[in-house]
Amino acid sequence: MTLAVTDEIALPKKRNRVLAKFMKNRAAVFGAGIVLFFVLVAIVAPLVAPFDPIKPSFSTIRKAPSLLYWFGTDELGRDVFSRMLLGTRASLSAGVISVGIAIILGVPFGLVAGYFGGWLDASISRATEALLSIPFLILAIALAAFLGPSLTNAMIAIGLSAMPIFIRLTRGQVLSVKAEDYVEGARAIGLPDFWIMLRYVLPNALPPILVQATLTIASAIIAEASLSFLGLGQQPPNPSWGSMLNTAKNFMSQAPWMSIFPGSAIFLVVLGFNLFGDGLRDALDPREN
Partner 1 sequence: MKRSFMMALAAGLLMSTAASAQTLKIGLNDDPDVLDPHRARTFTGRIVFASLCDKLVDITPDLKFTPELATEWAWSGDGKTLTFKLRPGVTFHDGEKMDAAAVKANLDRARTLPDSLRKSELNSVESVEVVDDLTVAVKLARPDGTLLSQLSDRAGMMLSPKAFAAADFAQKPVCSGPFKFVERVQNDRIVLERFKEHWNAKAYNFDRVVFTPIPDTTVRLANLKAGNLDLLERLAPSDVPSVKSDSKLIFAPISGIGYQGLTINTNNGDRAKTPLGQDKRIRQALQLSIDMDVVNEVVGQGIFPPATQPFPLASPYHDPKYDKRKRDVAKAKALLKEAGVEKVKFELTFGNNTTTQQIAEMIQAMAAEAGFEISLRPTEFAAMQKEATAGNFDVNVIGWSGRVDPDGNIHAFVTCKGALNDGRYCNPEIDRILNEARSITDEGKRKALYDTAQAVLLDELPIIYTYYQPWPFALSKKLDGFKPYPDGLIRLKGVKFAS
Partner 2 sequence: MLRYIARRLLIAIPTILLVSVLVFALQKLLPGDPVLTMAGEERDPEVLAFLREKYRLDDPLIVQYFAWFGQVLQGNLGISLRTDIPVLKLILTKLPVTIELAIFAMIVALAIGIPAGIISAVKKGTSIDYVANVTALSGLSIPNFWLGILLIMLVSVRWQLLPASGFVPPAEDLWMNIKTMLMPAIVLGTGLAASLMRHTRSAMLGVLRSDYIRTARAKGLLAPAVILKHALRNALMPIITLSTLLFGELLAGAVLTEQIFTIPGFGKLVVDAVFNRDYAVVQGVVLCTAVGFIFMNLLADILYVLVNPRLRHAR
CA separation for the pair 227, 40 (Å, rounded) = 25
| Exposed e or buried b per residue across 104-113, where buried means at least 16 C-beta atoms within 10 angstroms of its C-beta | ebbbebbbbb
- Cβ–Cβ < 8 Å for 242, 228: yes
Whether the upstream peptide bond of residue 65 has omega within 30° of 0, thus cis, is no
70-99 positions binding partner 1, by CB under 8 A: 75-77
User: Taking CB within 5 to 8 Å according to partner kind, which of partner 2, partner 1, none is near residue 5?
Assistant: partner 2
Neighbours of 131 (CB within 10 A): 18
Q: What burial class does residue 126 get, using C-beta atoms within 10 Å of its C-beta: 0-12 exposed, 13-18 middle, 19+ buried?
A: exposed
User: Taking CB within 5 to 8 Å according to partner kind, which of partner 2, partner 1, none is near residue 247?
Assistant: partner 1
Q: Is 37 in the site for partner 1 (CB under 8 A)?
A: no
Q: Is 236 in the site for partner 1 (CB under 8 A)?
A: yes
Q: How far is the CB of 260 from partner 2 (least distance, A)?
A: 9
CA separation for the pair 209, 281 (Å, rounded) = 10
185-204 positions binding partner 1, by CB under 8 A: none
Residues within the interface to partner 2 (CB under 8 A): 1-2, 4-5, 7, 26-27, 122, 126-127, 129-139, 141-143, 145-146, 215, 218, 222, 225-226, 242, 245, 249, 252-253, 259, 263, 266-268, 270-271, 274-275, 278, 287-288
Residues within the interface to partner 1 (CB under 8 A): 55-56, 58, 61, 75-77, 145, 149, 229-232, 235-237, 246-247, 249-254
